Amino acid sequence: MTAISAEGRAGTGRAIGDVIAGKEFTKTRRTGQPVWRNSYYEGQIEKRLWRPIGDGTRRGGRRYGGAVLKSAKELERKTLRARQRLSPGCRNGALGHVAIEVLEALYMTFVDYKEGRLEPAIATIAEAVGRSYSAVHAALKRLRDAGFLHWIRRSKPTENATGPQVEQITNAYALDLPPEVAQM
């Protein structure tokens, strides 16, 4: 997994929690519990990750989301043309049409514009866009690599005296805008 730098760029080796708060947060330790590595506890850094979309209103958020989608589609067209020059017959650019559908669902269906809160399960996104789980997961990875999206894995403690002490919950997503797309 590529870490995000303080400028929002990939490859510096710092975790997204370091970037958000400027310090290290407690991650769940490797204890044999059934959770992914580098999962943060629920409520630990989400408030620092989420920001209002547009001006925080439904209308402003939808307008901002529409502008981002328009820019993402333009980026897809440009990269598709460039890829087709190199290998005729290819059908997708840097993002792909499934990633555009996923980005549209995130901006228009799932996000809370006032807080920027975004935490749907991948299966929920897949059902909303009518695609398979694996296609949506691959699209989310492409959106993350392009800079449109960041996510953190989360877990929460359980009340079990015996058995697992923590459980995995849905990821927390943050919508972002890559600098090259912001210029469009």
Q: 132 CB contacts (<8 Å, ≥6 apart)?
A: 126
What's the first-to-final CA gap in the chain, in angstroms?
28
Q: Choose the weakest-confidence range: 30-39, 51-60, 120-129.
A: 30-39
Contact between residue 150 and residue 173 where contact means Cβ atoms under 8 Å apart: yes
**Residues above pLDDT 70, as percent of the chain:** 73
Global pTM reads 0.72
Most confident by average pLDDT, 23-27, 154-158, 159-163: 154-158
What is d(CA 180, CA 156) in angstroms, rounded to the nearest whole number?
36
pLDDT in tens, 52-102: 898 889 999 999 999 999 999 999 999 999 988 888 888 888 899 999 999
> Count of residues for the chain?
184
For 1-26, how does the pLDDT look when each residue is reduced to its tens digit (9 = 90+)? 444 444 444 444 455 655 555 555 55
Query: How far are the Cα atoms of 37, 162, 170 from residue 147, in angstroms, in the given order?
Result: 22, 41, 20
pLDDT, position 154: 80
Separation CA 35–CA 5 (nearest Å): 25
**What is the Cα–Cα distance from 106 to 128, expressed in whole angstroms?**
10
Tell whether the model's pLDDT for residue 29 goes beyond 80.
Answer: no
Q: What is the mean pLDDT of the chain?
A: 79
Give the three-class secondary structure for 104: helix
Structure tokens at 69: 């989608």
